[in-house]
Chain A
Amino acid sequence: MYGTQWPVVLLVTPLVGAALTPIIARRRAQLAGYWALFTFSIVSLAAAALTYQIHTQGEFSYYMGGWAPPIGIELRFDEFSASIAVICLVGWLSLLYCLGYAKHAIPERRIPYFYALMLLCLGGMNGFAVTGDIFNLFVFLEILSLAGYALVAITGDGIAELAAFKYLVMGAISSLSILLAIGIMYSLTGTLNMTDLAVRLSDVEPFPAAVAVAALTLGFCVKAALFPLHIWLPDAHSIAPSPVSAVLSGLVVKVGVLGMLRMFQILYASQVLDLTALNNVLMWLGAISIVMGALFAMVQDDIKMMLAYSTISNIGYIFLGLGLASTYGIIGASVHIFNHAIIKACLFLGAGSLIHQTGYRKLSDLRGVGKAMPITSAAIAVGAISIVGIPPTAGFLCKWYIALGAIEADRLFFAVALLFGALLIFVYYIRMLNAFYFMPPSHPEILEVGEAPLTMLIPIVILAILCLVMGIFGRIPLSFIEPAVINMLAPIGG
C-alpha cells in the first residue's frame, strides 16, 4: 500500500545518504552540503507523513520486512515518537545553516565527512525515537553518539579534540551502563521488545530489575547531562561548530530524556518497582541542575559557553517534571523536550552567526552587535526571552505546566524552586542583551559587519518565529502529548 514504507525511508535514507556523501563530494566538497540537505529533505518528508499518521490514527507499529516480533524488528510510532518531527525540523534548518557556515569554519577536506556525520547523527536520533525494542535503542544511541563525538572534534583544534575525548569517555561509560541494563533485562525476561518487556517485567525479581533501572537511569542521565553528570557538556557544546552545537544541545541531550520516558513507559506499565525513591532523586537533581546551571552560566563571558550551561538548567526543568510523576509535570517536561530544542537551536545558530561575522565570541567583545546585525540579534533576543519563560513564548508552557504539576503533586517547594531558578537564568541572558543593545562597542569595527548570508539568516528567523508561535499555539504540541502522558500514568492511577 502506498505510504506504508515511510518508516524505511525514515531510517535507511540517512544511512545510505551518509555513506554516499564522501563519494559524491569527491571532486567538489561543497556538493556535500546540497546532497545532505537533499537527503535529509526526503527524511523530513517521511517524518512529516509519519507524524501526520500518528496524529490521525493514533499509535501504530511497523514491522521491518513484514516480520513480526519477536523475530523481526518492530518500530513503534506513538506520541513520543512524534519527536521525529522536531528532530527533522531542527536538523533540516541546521543543515541549511551549514551551507553558509561550513565553508569558513571547517577545513575543506573534512567537509564531506562533516555532512556524512551530521546525517548519521540525525538519522540515529530518528531511529532512537521510533524503535520498539531496547537493543535497537542501544544501536541507534551508539550511532548518534559516535557521530556526535566526531562532530565535536571536526574542526581539528587541540581543544576541540580534548573536548571530544572527554565527551567520548563519559559517553562510553553511559553506553556501557545502558548495555548492562539491557543485558540484565534480557536475562530476566527473555525479550527485548518494549511492549513484551512491560508485560513480562511485572513478575520478575525486584532486585535485579532495580539494578537494571539504576544502570539505565545513570546512562541516560549522563547523555542528558543532568547535574552532576554534566561535566562533558559545556566544553563539547561550546567548542563544536555552531550548527553542531545546535543539534547537540537541542536534540542529542534529549536522547537521554526520551530514553527516560521510554523507561518510565515500561516501568509504569509493569509496576515492577516502587519508583518513589527514583522520582525523588530525579526531582532533586533536576532542581539542583536548574540552579547550578544558572550559576555557572552567570560567570561565563563566552557566549556559547553560556548557552551550554543554560542547557543544563533546562535539562533540570525536564527532569524535575519527570520526577514529579504527576500528569501536568510530565506534560510540561515532554513539551519542553520539543520547545527547548527549538529555542536552543535558535540561540546557538544565532550565536554562530555572530561569531562567524564578527570573529568574536565573548560578550565583552560583542558589544554593540545589535546595531550591526539587527535581525540576528533580535532573533537571539526572542530566544532569550523564550528560554526564560516569559509568556507568551514557547518556554512559558513548560514552566506553567511543571509549576502546576508540582502543586498537583503537593510539592509547592519545587514550583518555587523552578520559578526562581528561571529568574536566575534571566540574569545572565539580560547580560547578553545589554551587551548587544545597550553598551557602546568595545571594538568599533564591529559596527561595520553586516548580517550573515541568507542560508544562515533564514533558519534563525524561522526558529525565532517558532519560539513565539509554539507559545501562542501551545495547544498543538499539547494535543499530541497529553493523551500519551495520561496513558503512561494510567497504571499508577495518575
Chain B
Amino acid sequence: MEVVDIRPLLAPLLSLFCGILVFAVGERTWWRRFWSLSAAVVKLALVYSMLPGVLDGKIYSYSLIEFTPGIGLAFRVDALGMFFAIVSSSLWLITTVYAIGYMEQEHERARFFGFFALCVSTTVGIAFAENLLTLFLFYEMLTICTYPLVVHEETPEAMKAGRKYLVYTLLGGVFVLLGCAVTFQWAGTLSLSTAGILPASVGKQGLSLLFAAFVIGFGVKAAIMPLHGWLPSAMVAPAPVSALLHAVAVVKAGAFGIMRVVFCVFGVELLRDLGITVWLAALASVTIVLASIIAMTQDNFKRRLAYSTISQLSYIVLGVALLTPLAALGAIVHIANQAFQKITMFFVAGAIQRTTGRTNIHELGGIGYQMPFTMGAFTVAALGFIGVPLTAGFITKWYLSLGAMEAENGWVFVVVLITSSILNAGYWLPVVYMAFFKVPPGTHLHIKEAHWTLLIPTLICAVYVILLGSFAEVPGMPLSLARTAVEFFFGL
C-alpha cells in the first residue's frame, strides 16, 4: 500500500540543514555540538517513526519535482531502504558522540562536522531513492561530500589517498551513469519500485554487459576485488570517518546499489535466466578469502580493519549473487551486522590511538590491562566476525549458508564461508591474545580508559552486536525488516 508522506524527504533534508547550520556557526563549539546532536536525534526519531508502517507493508513515498522529464527526484521508503536508513541514522548518532570526543583537538572542525552531516544526508537519500537517477545523484554527492573528510589531515599522504579515492569512485560513477542511460533507453523507466524493470527481449549479451557496468560502478564502493584499492589508503582519515564512512555509509552504498540493481532493475527471474551472477558470486568468494589473507599480513590496526571490511562486504555481494531467498536475507541482515561489528572495531582502534598513541598491532601487548572495557568490546566484535553463535555474525553466516545450499553447487560457497571464519579467527584472535595474555613483564592492572565520549559509543555498539545475534527474531529487529524486503523481491 503506497502512502504519500513527506517524511522520506525530510529525513535527508534534516541532515542537509544540519550541515549548513554547522558551516554557519563556524568555530562556535557549543552550537556545533548542539546542532549535530539534535539533528541526529531528530532524524533517528523520524526514521523510526516510519518503521511500524513499513513492517505492516506500507510504503511511504514522496515525489519532489520532475528533475528531468519523465524522471523525478523522488523518494520511496520500502523495507530494504528502511533497513539501510535505520542502520545509518542509528550509527550517525553514536558516531557523532564519538566524533565530538575524538576531534576535540583537531583543526577545521566546522568543515569536518558539516561534511559529516552532509554524508549522512546523502546516505539516507540513497536508501530512500525511488529511481536510479535519484540514487545516482546521491551516490555522486556522497563521493564529493566524503572527499573533504578523507583529506582532513591535509598531509601529502592524505591528499594522495583523497586523489585515489576520487579517481576510483568517480570512475565507478561513470559506469553507473552509463548503466542508467542504457537502462532508460531499454526499459523506458528508471523506477525502483518493482522487482525488475528490464525486458528480457533486449538480448542476453546486452543485458550481461549492462549488468557488468553496474557491478563495476557500484562494486568500486563495495570494494569488490580488484576495485578495492582506494579503501586501505583512505584509512588515513580520522577514526570516526573511517568508522562511519568506510564501514557503513560509503561501502554500504555500493553494496546497496548492487542490491537495487539485482532485485529492482534486473529482477531475480531475469538474472536467473541470464546466469551471469555466478561470476559475481565467484568474484565475491575470491575477495572474501584473498582480502582475509592480506589482512593477516597487515600490522597497522586500521589497515587490517580495512582489509577485513573488504572481505566482509563481499559476504553481502555473495549473498545477493546467489539469488536464493535465504541468501538474500543473510546479505541484507549483514548490512546491519557488519556495520555494528566493524564500527565497534574502528571505535576501539580510534580510542587506543587517542589514549595511548599506538596504531600498530604489535604494540598492543598488555593493552587489556590498561583499557579492559575497550578491549572487551573488541573481543565481542572479533567473535562476531568469526561467527560465534549469539553474536550478530552468526546470523549472517547461518542464513548465507542455508541460502548457498539452495543454490547450485552451493557447497563451494559454504566452504568459502567456513574458510573465512577460520581466517577471521586467525587475524582477530591474536589481537585479543596479545591484549590480555601476552603481557610485557612488569605490567599491572592500571586502568586508564579512553574518555567517556569514546568509550560509551564503543560499548553500546558492542552490546548491540550481542543483541543482534541473540534476539534476531524479536519483531522490530533488523531481521524482520529484511524478511519483508526479501518476500517482496522474490514474490513470496
For residue B170, CB closer than 8 A to chain A, the reply is yes
Q: Is the CB of B154 within 8 A of A403?
A: no
**Chain B residues within an 8 Å CB radius of A412:** 182
Q: Which of A411-429 contact B (CB under 8 A)?
A: 412, 415-416, 419-420, 422-423, 426
For residue B429, CB closer than 8 A to chain A, the reply is no
**Chain B residues within an 8 Å CB radius of A430:** 163, 166
Query: B170's closest neighbor in chain A, by CB?
Result: A423
Q: Is the CB of A392 within 8 A of B185?
A: no
For residue B456, CB closer than 8 A to chain A, the reply is no
**Chain B residues within an 8 Å CB radius of A385:** 144
For residue B137, CB closer than 8 A to chain A, the reply is yes
Q: Is the CB of B178 within 8 A of A403?
A: yes
* Complex Cα spacing A412 to B171, Å: 17
For residue A25, CB closer than 8 A to chain B, the reply is no
Knowing A423-B170, A440-B154 touch, does A403 contact B177 (C-beta < 8 A)? Answer: yes
Knowing A391-B140, A478-B69 touch, does A400 contact B151 (C-beta < 8 A)? Answer: no
Q: Is the CB of A482 within 8 A of B69?
A: yes
Q: Is the CB of B177 within 8 A of A419?
A: yes
Q: Is the CB of B73 within 8 A of A472?
A: yes
For residue B104, CB closer than 8 A to chain A, the reply is no
Interface flags, A256-278, vs B, CB<8A=1, else 0? 00000000000000000000000
Q: Is the CB of A390 within 8 A of B144?
A: yes
**Chain B residues within an 8 Å CB radius of A397:** 68
Q: A430-B166, A434-B159 are in contact. List 11 more A-B contacts (CB 8 A).
A: A391-B137, A400-B68, A403-B178, A407-B181, A407-B185, A422-B174, A426-B170, A472-B67, A474-B68, A475-B66, A478-B68
Q: Is the CB of B69 within 8 A of A475?
A: yes
Q: Which of B110-128 contact A (CB under 8 A)?
A: none
Interface flags, A393-418, vs B, CB<8A=1, else 0? 00011011101100110001001100
Interface flags, B59-87, vs A, CB<8A=1, else 0? 00000011111000100000000000000
* A415 partner, pick from B68, B133, B170, B178, beta carbons under 8 A: B178
Q: Is the CB of B73 within 8 A of A404?
A: no
* Complex Cα spacing A396 to B170, Å: 14
Task: Kindly list the 9 A-B residue pairs having the minimum CB-CB distance in the complex, ordered from nearest.
Answer: A391-B137, A403-B181, A419-B174, A407-B185, A390-B140, A438-B154, A438-B151, A404-B181, A475-B66
Query: B154's closest neighbor in chain A, by CB?
Result: A438
**Chain B residues within an 8 Å CB radius of A482:** 69
**Chain A residues within an 8 Å CB radius of B67:** 392, 472, 474-475
**Chain A residues within an 8 Å CB radius of B68:** 397, 400-401, 474-475, 478
* Complex Cα spacing A397 to B170, Å: 17
| 15 A/B residue pairs, CB under 8 Å, sorted by A | A385-B144, A391-B137, A400-B133, A400-B177, A404-B185, A407-B185, A412-B182, A416-B178, A419-B174, A430-B163, A434-B151, A437-B148, A438-B154, A439-B159, A482-B69
* Complex Cα spacing A438 to B427, Å: 36
**Chain A residues within an 8 Å CB radius of B133:** 391, 400
* B174 partner, pick from A392, A400, A423, A440, beta carbons under 8 A: A423
For residue B184, CB closer than 8 A to chain A, the reply is yes
Q: Which of B408-438 contact A (CB under 8 A)?
A: none
Distance in Å from the Cβ of B28 to the closest Cβ of chain A? 16
- Count of chain B residues near A, Cβ 8 A: 28
Distance in Å from the Cβ of A452 to the closest Cβ of chain B? 20
Query: A335's closest neighbor in chain B, by CB?
Result: B68
* Complex Cα spacing A299 to B284, Å: 39
Knowing A415-B178, A430-B166, A474-B67 touch, does A391 contact B136 (C-beta < 8 A)? Answer: yes
**Chain A residues within an 8 Å CB radius of B182:** 407, 412
Report, as a range, how many residues of chain A touch the other chain: 20 to 34
Distance in Å from the Cβ of A67 to the closest Cβ of chain B? 40
* Complex Cα spacing A400 to B377, Å: 47
Distance in Å from the Cβ of B22 to the closest Cβ of chain A? 14
Q: Is the CB of B144 within 8 A of A392?
A: no
* Complex Cα spacing A419 to B34, Å: 41
Distance in Å from the Cβ of A447 to the closest Cβ of chain B? 14
Q: Is the CB of A415 within 8 A of B181?
A: yes
Knowing A403-B181, A415-B181 touch, does A475 contact B65 (C-beta < 8 A)? Answer: yes
* Complex Cα spacing A472 to B72, Å: 10
Q: Is the CB of A408 within 8 A of B185?
A: yes
* Complex Cα spacing A422 to B173, Å: 11
For residue B141, CB closer than 8 A to chain A, the reply is yes
Q: Is the CB of B65 within 8 A of A473?
A: yes
Q: Which of B26-65 contact A (CB under 8 A)?
A: 65
Q: Is the CB of A472 within 8 A of B65?
A: yes
Interface SS, B side: helix
Distance in Å from the Cβ of A375 to the closest Cβ of chain B? 11
Q: Is the CB of A391 within 8 A of B141?
A: yes
* Complex Cα spacing A171 to B36, Å: 56
Distance in Å from the Cβ of A341 to the closest Cβ of chain B? 19
* Complex Cα spacing A474 to B68, Å: 6
* Complex Cα spacing A136 to B60, Å: 57
* Complex Cα spacing A474 to B66, Å: 8
Q: Is the CB of B154 within 8 A of A439?
A: yes
Query: B158's closest neighbor in chain A, by CB?
Result: A438
Q: Which of A431-447 contact B (CB under 8 A)?
A: 434, 437-440
Query: B177's closest neighbor in chain A, by CB?
Result: A419
Distance in Å from the Cβ of B340 to the closest Cβ of chain A? 31
* Complex Cα spacing A382 to B442, Å: 58
Query: B152's closest neighbor in chain A, by CB?
Result: A438
Query: A439's closest neighbor in chain B, by CB?
Result: B154
**Chain B residues within an 8 Å CB radius of A407:** 181-182, 185
**Chain A residues within an 8 Å CB radius of B181:** 400, 403-404, 407, 415
Most chain A CB atoms below 10 A, which of B65, B68, B154: B68
Query: B185's closest neighbor in chain A, by CB?
Result: A407
**Chain B residues within an 8 Å CB radius of A426:** 166, 170
**Chain B residues within an 8 Å CB radius of A396:** 137
Q: Is the CB of B73 within 8 A of A392?
A: yes
* Complex Cα spacing A407 to B178, Å: 9
Q: Which of B153-171 contact A (CB under 8 A)?
A: 154, 159, 162-163, 166, 170-171
* Complex Cα spacing A416 to B185, Å: 15
* Complex Cα spacing A177 to B282, Å: 61
* B159 partner, pick from A390, A400, A403, A438, beta carbons under 8 A: A438
Query: B67's closest neighbor in chain A, by CB?
Result: A474
**Chain A residues within an 8 Å CB radius of B65:** 472-473, 475
* Complex Cα spacing A408 to B186, Å: 10
Q: Is the CB of B148 within 8 A of A390?
A: no
Query: A440's closest neighbor in chain B, by CB?
Result: B154
Query: B139's closest neighbor in chain A, by CB?
Result: A391
* Complex Cα spacing A38 to B69, Å: 38
Q: Which of A445-494 contact B (CB under 8 A)?
A: 472-475, 478, 482
* Complex Cα spacing A473 to B163, Å: 31
Query: B156's closest neighbor in chain A, by CB?
Result: A439
**Chain B residues within an 8 Å CB radius of A434:** 151, 159, 162
* Complex Cα spacing A194 to B178, Å: 38
Distance in Å from the Cβ of A469 to the closest Cβ of chain B? 11
* Complex Cα spacing A439 to B174, Å: 28
Distance in Å from the Cβ of B267 to the closest Cβ of chain A? 21
* Complex Cα spacing A375 to B68, Å: 29
**Chain A residues within an 8 Å CB radius of B184:** 404
* Complex Cα spacing A391 to B136, Å: 8
Query: A408's closest neighbor in chain B, by CB?
Result: B185
Query: B66's closest neighbor in chain A, by CB?
Result: A475
Query: A412's closest neighbor in chain B, by CB?
Result: B182
